[in-house]
Structure 1
Amino acid sequence: EASQGDMQTLIPLSFLLMLVTLALLTRSVSGTVATLFVILFSILTAMGLGGYLGFPITPPSASAPTIILTVAIANAVHILVTFLHEMRLGREKRAALVESLRINMQPVFLASVTTALGFLSMNFSEVPPFQHLGNLVAMGVVASFIFAVGFLPAAMSLLPVRVKQIGNDDSHLMHRFGDFVVRRRTPLMWGMAGVIVILVAAIPRNELNDVFVHYFDDSVPFRQDADFMTENLSGLYIIDYSLDAGEAGGISDPQFLREVAAFADWYRAQPETIHVSSFSDIMLRLNKNMHGDDPDWYKLPEERNMAAQYLLLYEMSLPYGLDLNNQINIDKSATRFTATLKTLSTNELLALEERARMWLQQNAPHIANAEGTGTSIMFAHIGKRNILSMLLGTAVALLLISLILIFALRSVKIGLVSMIPNLVPAAMGFGLWGLLVGEIGLSLSIVAGMTLGIVVDDTVHFLSKYLRARRENGLSSPDAVRYAFRRVGMALTTTSIVLVVGFLVLSLSSFQLNAGMGLLTAIVIVFALAADFLFLPPLLMKLEEKKPAVKPATTTA
């Protein structure tokens, strides 16, 4: 229901907001229409391939179209904005398209590869729906690159395009902003470094904590029913134990029964407990029944043979077709113990499980191999396991992306420096989350790996223009920064705004895993733009301030 609701409301809303935002920023109706088809083709390709591969539609994977929409638009925007910029400078349409492809082919390809790698890192997740989400978005990103460099230029060459020529871009907003960054590079670098340190220091304030029932907001019938059930009937959170007596027929041992009864009393005394069901309760009632319902005999049998006979009599008296196999095993060596709990967070559930384990170790020597099980325990543990697996996935993605950038940019130093603005945004985002919220759920554990590929997009485009200015035009480092802002600053701003709008739409989802993921991703993208505009350029100028301008290339690729 949550998946269907998201697909019926969020995807149309995303399309509407994206197109309005794109039209306002590019001021081109034909460009907006062509970009719309690039997005549609990318989504249909990814979801179609997902269907052939047998991916189920789950709440996480249902957000794939919205994420593909926001990520795929970036490739089209870079080509489109450069094309319109060239036409405003006076180039003829075909020449402007060729120049846009020449300038953007490598960075768009690199951004697509790194973005796909970031989402593919979600395959390290312990949760299959997140694996499906990562694979669907990765396929959509690859498809968007193909359509952006194949379909978009062809469509723009056929559609009418009207632009207002400006002759030169010396008064361009990004040109002035580039001048500001160059003039204020030292205070900007140290100021951003201070903000980064403060936010990164707040990361430990985050605590892994989830409430399974709260994955859905109050508008979802399941959440309403679950809350009503917990308040008026029973609870959804259950811990099961298999209490092993260590021998066949051992559940009739009076000492074992006393320890089971004591464990049940301990659980009932815990504030998290609603109800406890144990085999010792049956034996208490049987002993009382066999003595004429005398309340004084509401106690456990003191002899093993007597307890075994009571159990046999009880089994034989059950109606036809009923047995105790849901509570005891065949050879009567173990019994089931069930604790029904209130709605608990991950940490509360794990803390209760740990207290129970310690109590059994200290007070129940005749009970062996007692570990809490059940879906509640599974969800409580999977969050922590997911954190560890996604750390590995993020590390692998970071290594691959670093190698790709070093090779593509033909500079080990620049490739390594590029990792700073790629890693810093996620760290800043989690730091701000720690200050404002302080809890990280299951879905937020995948944000670092997922956003790594997205934020690389800004860095790749800025560095490619910076290096082009250094190598082809022979500009100094400050002039190369101005050139990069002038050529790609508006495109990066446009794509970032579009991405933020798209992921903020996802934060409206009734499925809280998607909502939290969308909100934190939007925060990370904002920090990524700030890092690439206010921290990376001063850092480049600082590292290359003594490096002379390169002699311009005699030929242009």
Structure 2
Amino acid sequence: MEARIAAALVRYRLVLFVVGLLSLLVLAAGARDLWFEGSYRIFFSDDDPYLVANDQIEASYTKADNIAFVVAPDDGEVFTRHTLQALRELTEAGWTLPRSIRVDSITNFQHAVAEADDLLVNDLVPDPDTLSDTDIAQLREIALAEPALAGALLSRRAHVASVNVRLEMPGDSRETSEVNLEVMQAARALRDDFEARYPHLDIHLMGQVVVNHAFNELAEADAGTLVPAMFLVVVVLLALFLRSVGAVAVTSAVIIASIVATVGVLGWLGYQVNQINVSAPVIILTLAVSDCVHILVHYLNDLRRGMAKPDAMRHALEINVAPVFLTSLTTAIGFFSLNSSDSPPFRELGTVVGFGVFAAMFFALVVLPTLMLWLPARVRAQTQFQQLHLAGLADRILARHGLFFFGTSAVALVLIAFMPRNELNDDTVAYFKPPLEIRTAFDFVQDNLTGVDSVAYSLDAGAPNGINEPAYLHKVEAFKTWLEQQPEVTHVASFTDVVKRLNRNMHGDDPAYYRIPDDRELIAQYVLLYELSLPQGLDLNDAITFDKSATRVSVSINNVASRGLIAFEQRAAAWLEQNAPEFAAQGSSVSLMFAHIGQNNIYSMLRGSLIAIVLIALTLIVALRSVKFGLLSLLPNAFPAAIAFGVWGLVDGKVNLAAAGVFSITLGIVVDNTIHFFSKYLYARRQRGEDTAAAIRYAFSTVGAALLVTTVALALGFLILAQSNFAVNATMGLMTAMIIGIALVFDLLFLPGLLMRADRASAQRQPAGARPV
């Protein structure tokens, strides 16, 4: 079968080459409308319950999309005339940002005071140039005592302040991406202008729009740097190993075609480029190298032995067409299993790379032969590295195969024992590596102003205008009090603070009346009077619904990893169930969404990994025509991922969203080396009639150097991915590279001993017509 396929690939190479080019053109056309989609929403399915809850809250109150200008004066004091003037100007300038619908700061905070029967509501900080030092000191005291400001828009030491701009972003994701860019350009220009005009200020940009844009920028940066870096590494590696300009050029052509096809598939499937699937070209680049190297090594070696070019290519294809197809199939199965993920970008990555793997195999079989046979047959003498057939290593391992078998098994078991030390504990702040601008801002806000994570609750009063009921407000206040007592919480914003402040104002600012009134009508009158006094754009829509049937409680939380955030959510849900079940409130926020997707993803990916194991095992059994060898070939590949996670548990112990898919990804990749090894081993056993030890030596000598080169190429590719400033991709790259390296060592040291125990049959007579490879 392999001989007939190889002969056809050589005989009809020109036709197949044209078919390959036409296929490439068709696939490439899918990339014409691709664009970067940077929103956090890409990580969640439309029916994700936490996304749905978050959307419902945003539909009921002022949108959460925002940019915050976090201002830090170098003298450590916000309440100076110069800094207050800058804050007031920045607050006014915030309204000029595209799509701005609300701007909040300490300067325009609506401070209420009562005069006789009138309620006067004005900006807390009027023109700073008209204020005396005594006025400024008094304003500082008022601001630090105001629950809506201290710990939110103003640090509790009054050394940092924030100007928060709320924005109405479009619903269409592509338009949102474009508006994000427009808003960020305007915000950065505004920041730079103020830092130039007020040199004593440092201004950090924070907020949901900033995070979305950071995702976008990181995706573009990865696409623009990681792929070229890996391509350069591959070219250098191939040049050193193959010592053939033509072979390097042809391999590069196959790689480029495979990447173009993969990106085209992304478009044809209706996906857009995002921070996760942007790594697909890097992955395909590394995987395409493996197919080419195995074919070219045999082709160039046959040319050195004096074989004619068509015959050498036919022989190289005959030997490799089955293992290349098999490795492509198993690798694709591993990636396709990512479709069990709860997070759409990982499903997209698995699907696109799965198709890309078959594209790389297709171009290696139909483009490479034609181009290589067109080129002049100039083959340089082999380097010492190329002559490293590993036969000597095979002899040393076989001489002590028991020691290597049980030794590697013992080391593996010891390292695997450390797997439970790992904790899936996502930290959304840690997604961005220092010293990225967004990470610097995150860390600064966390250390100096307030928590960067949040959870919001919409507490239903049960009827329109129900928020005026004293009993309802007392329960809301009790929940707020409980929240403030939690160790993770840095600030709680609640409508009850407004009601209590108004009650105090209407009683001559007597502190004794800073409480919720017991009269529904009185509360309604206070709120109506306050609303009529508020300027446009600074109403209560961020705290109460339009029909006054519910209020929002917003909780700022210290940067805690996903387990801590979920634990807080569960405690809050338990309190509400016990004390106010009628609220039927579910906590929601972007931070909470990421916390749950990370936890849920590990379980969904475990299911996908089990499916992948079964499918790969069945594939190997059928391909190797042996249940025994199919299962044996799978066995050494079940250990490397577990070993790597054990090592990770020793050195780090924290895994993020990406770790859930690493086992599925690597299972399909690391089995490739075993397939190539077993294909040569079984050829020696079945065709050459070798005994077990001789067949092992034959496998080492025929594929040893190629396995080393392809493993190095794969490991380097994923190590380059590990240089991404997006920690999810970086973790996936680093762990995958580690598993690939461990797999090769494990194959070389463990597999001979396994075969010596599981395949003890003696040498068989070489069948007639069988020829050596």
> If the TM-score is normalised by the length of the shorter chain, which range does it land in?
over 0.9
SS of 1:142's equivalent?
helix
Q: In the alignment, what sits opposite 1:387?
A: 602
Q: Among residues 521, 524, 528, which one is paired with 2:739 in the alignment?
A: 524
Q: In the alignment, what sits opposite 1:373?
A: 588
1:554 aligns with 2:768: yes
Give the Cα separation in 2 of the matches to 1:434 and 1:72. Answer: 32
Give, in angstroms, the shift of residue 351 of structure 1: 2.2
1:162 aligns with 2:379: yes
Give, in angstroms, the shift of residue 531 of structure 1: 1.9
Give, in angstroms, the shift of residue 495 of structure 1: 0.3
Matches within 5 A, 1:99-498: 99-159=315-375, 160-164=377-381, 173-246=389-462, 249-319=465-535, 324-329=540-545, 332-362=548-578, 364-365=579-580, 367-498=582-713
What do residues 453-485 of structure 1 show as CA deviations (whole Å, max 9, x unaligned)?
111111111111111111111111111111111
Q: In the alignment, what sits opposite 1:2?
A: 218
Contact 2:388 2:705 in 1 (8 A): no
Q: 345-354 or 82-91: which moved more?
A: 82-91
CA-based RMSD? 2.2
Contact 1:277 1:337 in 2 (8 A): yes
Contact 1:256 1:366 in 2 (8 A): no
Count of residue correspondences:
552
Could you say which structure has the higher helix fraction? 1
Give the Cα separation in 2 of the matches to 1:147 and 1:320. Answer: 63
What do residues 163-189 of structure 1 show as CA deviations (whole Å, max 9, x unaligned)?
4379xx9x8541111212221111111
Contact 1:477 1:541 in 2 (8 A): yes
Identity %: 47
Q: In the alignment, what sits opposite 1:12?
A: 228
Give the Cα separation in 2 of the matches to 1:130 and 1:491. Answer: 30
Letter in 2 for 1:131: R
Give, in angstroms, the shift of residue 539 of structure 1: 0.6
Give the Cα separation in 2 of the matches to 1:178 and 1:366. Answer: 70
TM-score (norm 1): 0.93
Give the Cα separation in 1 of the matches to 2:462 and 2:695. Answer: 76
Give the Cα separation in 2 of the matches to 1:278 and 1:172. Answer: 71
Contact 2:246 2:372 in 1 (8 A): yes
What do residues 20-61 of structure 1 show as CA deviations (whole Å, max 9, x unaligned)?
112212222221111111101100111122223332111212
Q: 280-289 or 99-108: which moved more?
A: 280-289
Letter in 2 for 1:552: Q
Give the Cα separation in 1 of the matches to 2:751 and 2:436. Answer: 44
Give, in angstroms, the shift of residue 6 of structure 1: 1.5
Distance 1:218 1:358, change over 3 A: same
What do residues 374-419 of structure 1 show as CA deviations (whole Å, max 9, x unaligned)?
1111000000111111111111111111111111110011111222
Give, in angstroms, the shift of residue 143 of structure 1: 1.2
Distance 1:165 1:525, change over 3 A: closer
Give the Cα separation in 2 of the matches to 1:263 and 1:421. Answer: 55
What do residues 278-335 of structure 1 show as CA deviations (whole Å, max 9, x unaligned)?
1211221121122222211111112344434434444455456775444334554432
Give, in angstroms, the shift of residue 248 of structure 1: 5.4
Q: 366-375 or 246-255: which moved more?
A: 246-255
Give, in angstroms, the shift of residue 503 of structure 1: 1.0
Letter in 2 for 1:273: V
SS of 1:293's equivalent?
coil
Contact 2:389 2:700 in 1 (8 A): no
SS of 2:458's equivalent?
strand
Letter in 1 for 2:410: G
Give the Cα separation in 1 of the matches to 2:707 and 2:655. Answer: 29
Give, in angstroms, the shift of residue 155 of structure 1: 1.9
Letter in 2 for 1:12: P
Contact 1:462 1:485 in 2 (8 A): yes
Give the Cα separation in 2 of the matches to 1:126 and 1:476. Answer: 48
Q: In the alignment, what sits opposite 1:29?
A: 245
Q: Higher Cα Rg: structure 1 or 2? A: 2
Letter in 1 for 2:248: T
Give the Cα separation in 1 of the matches to 2:421 and 2:301. Answer: 45
Give the Cα separation in 2 of the matches to 1:165 and 1:10. Answer: 31
Give, in angstroms, the shift of residue 118 of structure 1: 1.0
What do residues 136-157 of structure 1 show as CA deviations (whole Å, max 9, x unaligned)?
2222211111111111122222
Contact 2:680 2:698 in 1 (8 A): yes
Tell which has more relative contact order, 1 or 2 (C-alpha 8 A, sep 6+). Answer: 1
Give the Cα separation in 2 of the matches to 1:49 and 1:348. Answer: 39
Give the Cα separation in 2 of the matches to 1:235 and 1:175. Answer: 60
Give the Cα separation in 2 of the matches to 1:52 and 1:220. Answer: 33
Give, in angstroms, the shift of residue 361 of structure 1: 3.8
Letter in 1 for 2:763: A
Contact 1:125 1:389 in 2 (8 A): yes
Distance 1:283 1:354, change over 3 A: same
Contact 1:83 1:97 in 2 (8 A): yes
Matches within 5 A, 1:83-102: 83-102=299-318
Give, in angstroms, the shift of residue 276 of structure 1: 1.0
Q: In the alignment, what sits opposite 1:50?
A: 266
Contact 2:689 2:766 in 1 (8 A): yes
Give the Cα separation in 1 of the matches to 2:342 and 2:502. Answer: 45
Give the Cα separation in 2 of the matches to 1:473 and 1:352. Answer: 66
